[in-house]
Structure 1
Amino acid sequence: MYRIGVVNFEGDTSGWTQFQAQMPSDWELHQTASDEGAVFDLLILLENKPEQTGEICGQLLQLKKELDSLIWIWATAQNEMNRMVYLKLGADGVMTDHLKLEEWVLIVSNALRRKAMNGQHSEEKIVSKNNGGGLVLNIRNRSIMVNENDEIRLTNLEYKAMDILFQNVGETVTYEEIYKAIWGEKENEHRKVYRISNLIFHIRKKFEEEIGTSKAIRTVRSKGYVLTV
């Protein structure tokens, strides 16, 4: 089953209704916001009118940094310039009236299967401690399995943060090391700490919601974080 996220920037969605009726049985459709942080195999950004182009471009740039999902634009306007802009910004494709729905579904389904196959060939990183529990960092799903039962889904940035903590389990990972592993760009110290703290906050929140505790990630004051499982 593939998780398909649909971001609607408001407007006429009559064309989208047609797609819903012909959606493949292994596509699980979810209405979502682009900044919601949920994990999807495919994100579809609905362009209902030309005036939304600027907003969609901004969201596309941000999503490409944070997510590992396929991203398609569903465009109602037949604007070649806009299509070229979306593709140059990293969209995997643009759906317009020039592309038949059945053909589009086949193209995207093939891409989803290739993505899934590539994920299957990646190794899972496993860390377990003597507290009677264990964590599995799942590369394919960009998620964490807790005691083989509970799955915590992560955004691409959250996954990168957990990856470096897993690599150094039981040891303090500094703000500088985390920032370099995730972003790698120059930034002032205050901004670095803020961005990392905000990211860890959202990861801890997901731990709390799924398993009732976030103690696995401990803050080392003025230095960084340590994974203590």
Structure 2
Amino acid sequence: MKKILVLEDEANIRSFVVINLNRAGYETIEAGTGEEALEQLRLNPDVRVALLDIMLPDMDGFEVCRRIRAGNSKIGIIMLTARTQEMDKVTGFMTGADDYVTKPFSPAELTARIDALYRRIGGDMMDDGEIQQPPFVLNTRKRTLEKNGQRIKLTQVEYAIMKMFMENPGKALSREEILKFVWGENYLGELKIVDVNIRRLRVKIEDEPTSPAFITTIWGYGYKWEF
């Protein structure tokens, strides 16, 4: 069964989320504090997706996300927030989140977001090839990226973006195309998620992130992979 961590300090909201995820076929692991969530992940290394509330009694969800990412680049992370300020979304993505859902939300929307992230995590596990575009090597079975022989830690969304770029070298890709390819046709979020994840990816792969040589911007349209 697909296993997911639900971190939410309000018991009634957590119970509501857990009931609906159980109905959708997920096995849920519950936590009410950041420390409890980190401990549950240690005890349950097979958790593939974590749903993190931002407002918590001991630490905020951004810090939980940072700590998870420090030791696990493969797990999918969705931030759950009651706040709608743009900086909250940007902060969540820059700390390593893959998606966000804003309260109030419908069970169908939340489940759809989790389903989409789960598909991205397991999408091409049987592929055993490599894409080599020096100085990069993308291993599509291990879902890893190396630059000049050095491993670069990627989130699952960052891996999907790199795979898309390296499969389409030199092609100008619109933000809409990237959103559809990486997040799926039924994604209900904003285009800005593309820009924030590209910014985060540039920090990891570019020699000079402020003057990118590999992921170039097509102003008013999208991005292009140069190699």
- In our comparison, the structure showing a higher alpha carbon Rg is 1
TM-score class, shorter: 0.3 to 0.5
- The TM-score, its normalising length taken from structure 1, stands at 0.47
- The TM-score, its normalising length taken from structure 2, stands at 0.47
